[in-house]
Structure 1
Amino acid sequence: MRLRSCWIGVSAVALWSAGGAAAQTPPADPGASTEQAESSAPEQGEIIVTARRRNENLQTTPLSGSVLSGTDLANKGVANVDALQFASPSIVVNNFGQGIDFNVRGIGKGEHNTQTATGVITYRDGVPTFPGYFQQEPYYDVANIQVLRGPQGTIVGQNATGGAVFVNSNDPIIGGGYKGYVQASVGNYSELGAQGAVNIPVNDTLAARAAIYGLRRDGFYDITGPNGTDYTGNNGDQRHLAGRFSLLWKPTSQLSILSKTDVDYLDMGAYVASPYQNYRPVGVPALTQYSDLFDVSLNAPQEARDKFWRTILRINYEFDGGLQLRSVSGYSWGNTKYRADLDGTARLTPATADRTFFDSVDERQFSQELTLISPDTSRVSYLAGVFGIWNKYEFLSPFQFVSDNSSAPGPASEYRLQGTNPNRSLAAFGQLGFAITPALKAEVGGRYTASRSINDIQILQFGTPLNADQKTTSDNFSYKASLGWEANRNHYLYAFVATGFKPGGLNPPVGIPAPDFFREETVTSYEAGWKGSFANRRIRTTISGFYNSYDDFQVIIANPALPVFGLQINVPGTTKIYGFEAEVQAQFGRLNLDAGINVLHSEIGRFFAVDQRGTLSLTPCDPTTGPASATCRNLTGNDQTYAPNFTFNAGASYEIDLGGGATLTPRANFGHVGKQWATLFANPTRGDRLEDRNILNAQIAFTKGSVTVTGYANNLTNQHYPGALNSNLYFAGPPRQYGVKLLKAF
């Protein structure tokens, strides 16, 4: 068996402390964000969140969320966004290669495209990341990840209907000395990994931090060519290199300026996939063409590479009296390249043809937020700001976006595209908080957003030249009103009503004439919860219930034979998603326990659509009225895609004192993601039903002094499961990976 290892982005001091540190104890040195480093140390049982631009105790804040420190990520085997779904409740990650879509409480992106805004915004060091591509960015030298559930963006950042994820890397520490870590790892699939970071004190007002990450690993797949011949293409070999350089300057006690620049070159080799018909779920009789998800037959070359850079600038000035003015700027540029055997087979038949796909797409994004933040010491608090984001897709010329649907490539079978799709959103927001009593606080916030999307696209559609010059605009006012009551030091109750907004957009320019735009999506959300602490805050619990009502819910009606012909439409009826969540964390001396659960129900509103995978329909099918027929399906009440009814995660670790300053810490973490539908048509005979995911990760870490040696296994039971369905192809989740990593802190 080839060797494989798991890199993990962690803070030096967090691992130096041998994994005994709890998530609620941010390290005082590398491993804390600027806000955490400059605030007073939290009490036992506290988790500090900074997503709302304040230092807030999660246990007394009217929102539902989870915080995973760098230590937690290491202990739970979370090396990238794919693994995050097994470490926190209510999260599902749909990984089909060039697109990785993040869903929270059933909302995010059901199927991938560039024209649709995501319902869950991911931030890196305070700025929104690309909404379409580039989601394979690794987690290394991470301080914490904050996952907020429910509509977000009413107060800061970008508006979202499902949630927000804040990935915060370690900041430089002024006066922190030369401290950091180096880590090397080796494992199966011939994996070799290395990473490290160092804090560099320049003087008493300036510090820098440099971090680097590298990975090489062979692919998981056994691929053969036509008639069992050798396949000469790439089978998913990974070659990653990433780096980050940060500067923190505090010329006075009132002014701080932080900059961070990330550069990533991520060669994924290939996004390998196979037809859903080839896979046999547990308990289903084998088909004649059955094969494992990692046994694939292809006859076309593959390619998968992302390269990008991002720079952020965060300026904070505190006036006399505590009022703060904060500016957060971000600029990103990237190029993604993807080449695929789109039929997923080496067979040539009239049914499969020899479909291929290729694209090379540039993306640029600039965002700017300016916020005025009142101090927290008075009875009345407020926050006011403006936000803008400009994103532009450039489909490179000459026509470097090609979908071919024939074994004889040529203009008659190709859809080619070039041009630009710029998008813009501008917003103004504010929040007012009032302490009715020292224990009872009300907050109300509002946000106005104006969005725009433009197509300036040239097409060669099966040899016919077309132009798409289109524009659509949408605007919205969102609000949130909450009430939080700290019944006593250990118990907090909250309730809120909030609205959210996802802008409309333009469909891919296909057909004559080009399809209509789709409207904005809005949501009204109701939530109530209880957060409690017991046993001198050694046990921390959260229980919440939520009900979301969506108008003009955005869904995709896909066309697997011609993926670019999929259409985004608005559901005429009201879509409902509701459920409850519970989390618990406990620390008893050397024993740490945690668990989370989500129970979810979703109902798509009344509408009708044609399943393009079936018999070609020439009869009308109006989304609002139908009429229902064998081809025009009534989808009313169906589940939202990638919205399992049940998710669960649990973890445990125990630190054993070996004497002489040495410890041994075994850990186990289990994540369950329930069955889910991959399309709205909910047809199991076409592979729409994705099976349960049950992932067990285990580690054992030996620590002495500043050295930690960890043996680990991820997906210990080696479950093979489809992680997503796209274009009639199954994309497999990662198989069992195991290895050893060695970390030295200094």
Structure 2
Amino acid sequence: MISKIAKAHLLASGCLVGLAAFAPGVAQAAAAPDGSASSSGEIIVTAQRRAEKQQDVPISITAMSADTLQKANIVNIRDVQNIAPSFRVSSTGVFMQLSIRGITSTALGPGIENNIAVYVDGFYQPISTSLGGDLVNVANVQILKGPQGTLYGRNATGGALLVTTREPSADKVIFDADAGYGNLNDVRLRAYAGVPLGNGLSFGVGGYYRSNDGYIKDVDGSNAAPYSNWEVRTKLKYEPSADVSLTLGYNHMWKDDGSTYAYGFYKNQSLAGVVPIPPIGPLRTDQPDTSSVDTPPINSSRLDEFTGKLSWDTGFGKLNSYTSYANELFHVDVDFDGTKVPLQRFDARWYRKTWTQALDFQAKPADNLDLTVGGMYYHDKSSQDAPFYSFGVMRARGFTTQRTEGLAGYVDATWQAVPNLYLTAGVRYSRDKRSIESFNRLVSPATVVVPLTRASFDSWTPRFTVRYEFQPDMSVYASYSRGFKSGLFNSTGSPATMTTPVRPEKNDAYEVGLKAASHGIYFDAAAYYYDYKDLQVNAVQIDPATQRTLTSLTNAATARIWGFEASVSAPLTEQFNVRAAAAYTHARYRNFANANPIVEILPGVNGSVTGGQNWSGRRISRAPDWTFNIGADYTIPVGEGSVVVAANGAYSSKYAPTSEGFDLTTGAVYEQKGYFQANATIDYHLPGDHLTIGAWVNNLTDKRYAILFTAEGLGSKKVLSTPRTFGVKLGYKY
């Protein structure tokens, strides 16, 4: 068996071969001053908190422009996995759960953050519910792979997702809008307007509305999970001079998508003989895309966010200040038993109020030195009101509040030691103070009070990189970085487990890579090795007093993740562009001898079997070994207009989308088999390029995969992805 070090050497050798292929005639691409794109069309990324060409950044990045997203018909974050290798998205209720190179979070609930840091316009988003809506009026999306512990270090064990939305211009009027209609009665309306107001003042507003009937039917014939999403995003920008800008923003988002709660148990449903389960028929189903719940599922999220960004070029350096306040409400109302009989129901509301203050200062003290210094203050209060009903009677109601106060500071410097050799060193110090308290009122046996309990966690997260530039737009790099996810309390667990926090996650990452560009062709490759400790792993338990479903949050001891990936994009002709990417990810628990799993429910057994399984050597959830994607677009001149045809396809090998459940004799239970999906669009741009008429089809072959695949105390359940969808659209831009 080839050792991990030998594999890294093999990839490095491949990188050198790639260098030889790109050696002749590499052109320098000029960076755009607004940090959006280079003159050659390449996205200018902000992975190091300054605008740089992607080829100059020693970090693995998948960067997607608005044009790329449009041609690939990327509607939401889940769709991004169709064009981003080693990136997965799953859902548990209202929560979007991201995975990069096998690093993901299964912990959910008030005060719990993901280990993939998410930033929208530079503002930290503590949980990914705000990503549940569609991607609209977006300028670009960047996926930073590997720990971002220094510059984007708050809970960035696996990486970061950076979303940049559009901004108004002080010089010109911007207006564009489009409308679409598709099967499932899918209605989409979008518009953006940017208006200069004079004296350096401009205003931009973007709006979006989408609704459809959903693809899941109830046994009574009704639409079980209709979809609704609408958003408004505003920006008021003031630029009194070329050195100063102030942007004030207000964002509102509403989404309701009950698809992951509209289900019937597909097998092994049981109430341990306490209540007779209705037979398959009008009161219960085991068929896909069909539900048999007595309470229509509600899975909604509402976000109101106020932001302020100040940028000031002092002459010596540039100061950026980010201030935000967010008020979020999540409402989940779900029928746990999956029958038309009112046996078990969970109706919960989560309230979250978060404000952050971040500063970063970018300076160039010398011609060969770039310096970034910054810090962040984070304050969050998250509460949960969670009634549980059995046989139509409230059996329990829990009120839980978790508070977090975080403080961090960092410094990062890149030094050009000699011509073409760049050395980067940085470090961040993070400290979190957390507290939890809970009041659980039970019908039986008694009321339980969880006293105010506090804990604190801190860590140093360094990074070091070496980059050698053979010539402009061609370089190799090696890096070491550490990621840190704070310890936390299990806010959705039983009262007995809430006051025992889990330890922080830490990830030591080593990476080597190659980046090259020539005549519009972009190529990058990387190999990596992660030493991942104290993974925070969630599992389901059943409260014996009330029979309600709770979670058990524990630390897995260690995991080892290694892999390699490569991507290329190229214009074969002036009209024909192709892009492809592939990734191999070997993500396995190294030491997890006493796992607390969700296992397949056996008839007559009420509740999941817990404890005692040895998961050492088993695959981590949301970590397929192989992912690849391929895409192309072709422009056909038609008179004074043009037709653009685009298509993309993506493959994923088998993985567990939700639960790491195992049968000790037959292996994984809740594992999605490998699959391939393809999408296509066609757009006719009328002469003048103001009006566009188009059509799209997603999931061409109608291939379905599991977005939810797990068990609860009552049985095993699975929800499939959206079937083939298609529609037409009409767009206008000024």
Alpha carbons of 1:270 and 1:156: their partners in 2 closer, same or farther (altered >3 Å)? closer
Q: Is the 8 A contact 1:379 1:434 kept in 2?
A: yes
Q: Tell me whether 1:162 sits opposite 2:144 in the alignment.
A: no
SS in 2 for 1:73: helix
* 2:622 alignment partner, one of 638, 642, 647: 642
Output the TM-score relative to the length of structure 2: 0.86
Per the alignment, do residues 126 and 416 of structure 1 end up closer, same or farther by CA in structure 2, a change over 3 Å counting? same
- Deviation by residue 1:597-646 (Cα, 9 ceiling, x = unmatched): 11011121322134454689xxxxxxxxxxxx996211111111111111
What does the per-residue CA deviation read over 1:42-96, in whole Å, with 9 as the maximum and x for residues that have no partner? Answer: 2426431023221111111110011111111111111111111112111110123
8 Å CA contact 1:635, 1:681 repeated in 2: no
Question: Aligned to 1:130, which of 122, 126, 132?
Answer: 126
SS of the residue aligned with 1:67? strand
The C-alpha deviation readout for 1:217-271, integer Å capped at 9, x for no partner, is 11211211xxxxx266x61112322111111111122111112211122233564
Corresponding letter in the other structure for 2:674:
D
Count of paired positions = 669
**Contact 1:335–1:362 (8 Å) recurs in 2:** yes
Deviations 1:354-386 (A, max 9, x none): 322111111111111111111387112211111
CA distance in 2 between partners of 1:543 and 1:612 (Å): 37
**SS of equivalent residue, structure 1 residue 360:** strand
| Distance in 2 separating the partners of 1:366 and 1:318 | 25
- Deviation, 1:559, is 2.4
Q: In structure 2, what is the equivalent of residue 389 of structure 1?
A: 378
Write out per-residue CA displacement over residues 151-203 of structure 1, whole angstroms, 9 at most, x where no aligned residue.
0141246241001011110011111x222101111111111211111110101
CA change 1:40–1:194 in 2 (3 A) is closer
2: CA distance between counterparts of 1:730 and 1:371?
Answer: 45
| Residues in 1 aligned to 2:42 and 2:188: alpha-carbon distance in whole angstroms | 34
Q: Which residue of 2 aligns with 1:672?
A: 651
Q: 1:633 aligns with which of 613, 623, 629?
A: 613
CA apart distance, 1:296: 2.4
How has the CA–CA distance of structure 1 residues 205 and 730 changed in structure 2, closer, same or farther, with 3 Å as cutoff?
Answer: same
- Quickly say closer, same or farther: Cα 1:274–1:484, change in 2 above 3 A: same
Find the residue that maps to 1:718 and give its secondary structure: coil
- Equivalence map 1:329-368=2 (5 Å): 329-346=323-340, 354-368=343-357
Q: What is the rounded CA distance, in whole Å, between the counterparts of 1:341 and 1:697 in structure 2?
A: 34
- 1:32 aligns with none
Describe the shift of the 1:439–1:339 C-alpha distance in structure 2 as closer, same or farther (beyond 3 A).
same
Q: What residue ranges of structure 2 are gaps of 5+ in the alignment?
A: 1-29, 269-279, 603-608
Are the equivalent residues in 2 in contact too, given 1:315–1:327 (CA < 8 A)?
yes
Q: Distance in 1 between matches of 2:176 and 2:497?
A: 58
Deviations 1:535-590 (A, max 9, x none): x2x21111100100012222123227867522111123x21111011111111311
| Aligned match for 1:496, one of 479, 491, 495 | 479
CA positional deviation for 1:453: 1.7
Where 1:202 maps in the other structure, the secondary structure is strand
- Paired residues of 1:92 and 1:673 also in contact (CA < 8 A): no
Match of 2:434 in 1: 453
Partner of 2:527: 545
Following superposition, the deviation at residue 513 of structure 1 comes to 6.6
What is the Cα deviation at residue 691 of structure 1?
Answer: 2.2
Change (3 A) 1:563 1:483: farther
- For the residue of structure 2 that corresponds to 1:570, the secondary structure is strand
Paired with 1:513 and 1:549, the residues of 2 have a C-alpha distance of: 28
Pick closer, same or farther for the CA change 1:208–1:377 going to 2, 3 Å: farther
Counterpart secondary structure, 2:266: helix
Q: Distance in 1 between matches of 2:497 and 2:419?
A: 62
Q: CA deviation at 1:514?
A: 4.6
Residue 340 of structure 1 aligns with an amino acid whose one-letter code is V
Q: Identify which of 56, 80, 85 aligns with 2:81.
A: 85
Is this contact kept in 1: 2:599–2:669, CA < 8 A?
no
1:718 and 2:690 matched? no
* CA-CA distance at 1:696 after TM superposition: 0.8
- CA gap of 1:181–1:577, structure 2 versus 1, over 3 A, is same
Which SS does the other structure have where 2:590 is aligned? coil
* 1:309-357 deviation digits (Å, cap 9, x = unpaired): 1122111111124x111101111111111111223334x6xxxx83221
1-structure distance, mates of 2:599, 2:535: 23
Q: Alignment partner of 2:210: what SS?
A: strand
| Contact 1:156–1:429 (CA under 8 A) maintained in structure 2 | no
Residues 382-429 of structure 1, C-alpha deviation per residue, up to 9 Å, x if partnerless?
A: 11111111122122xxxx31234x4x2435xx3421132111221010
1:461 Cα offset (Å)? 4.1
Letter in 2 for 1:258: T
Asked if 1:472 corresponds to 2:455, the answer is: yes
Match of 1:52 among 39, 45, 48: 48
Match of 1:653 in 2: 633
Structure 2 counterpart of 1:581: 565
Equivalents in 2 of 1:123, 1:563: separation in Å? 35
- Identify the match of residue 405 of structure 2 among 424, 429, 439: 424
> Which of 260, 263, 266 matches 1:277?
266
Q: As a proportion of its length, which structure holds more strand?
A: 2
* 1:666-705 aligned within 5 A: 666-677=645-656, 678-683=658-663, 687-704=669-686, 705=688
Alignment correspondent of 1:519: 503
Q: Is the contact made by 2:105 and 2:536 (CA closer than 8 Å) also made in structure 1?
A: no
Whether contact under 8 Å (1:615, 1:631) holds in the other structure is no
1:731 to 689, 696, 719: 719
> Against the structure 1 CA distance between its residues 258 and 293, is the aligned structure 2 distance closer, same or farther, given a 3 Å change threshold?
same
The Cα RMSD (Å) is 2.6
The 3-state SS of whatever aligns with 1:83 is helix
Cα pair 2:695 2:729 within 8 Å, conserved: yes
What are the superposed Cα offsets for residues 479-535 of structure 1, whole Å, 9 maximum, x if unpaired? 00001111112421011001110000112351547552111111100000001223x
Contact 1:274 1:345 in 2 (8 A): no
Deviations 1:117-152 (A, max 9, x none): 311011111111131634313211110001100001
Q: CA–CA distance in 2 between the matches of 1:211 and 1:641?
A: 36
Q: Distance in 2 between matches of 1:630 and 1:335?
A: 32
When the two structures are superposed, what TM-score results if normalisation uses the length of structure 1? 0.85
- How far, CA to CA, are the matches of 1:58 and 1:692 in structure 2? 31
The within-5 A match list for 1:176-325 is 177-224=172-219, 230=220, 235-268=224-257, 271-275=260-264, 277=266, 292-321=287-316, 323-325=317-319
Deviation at 1:721, TM superposition (A): 2.0
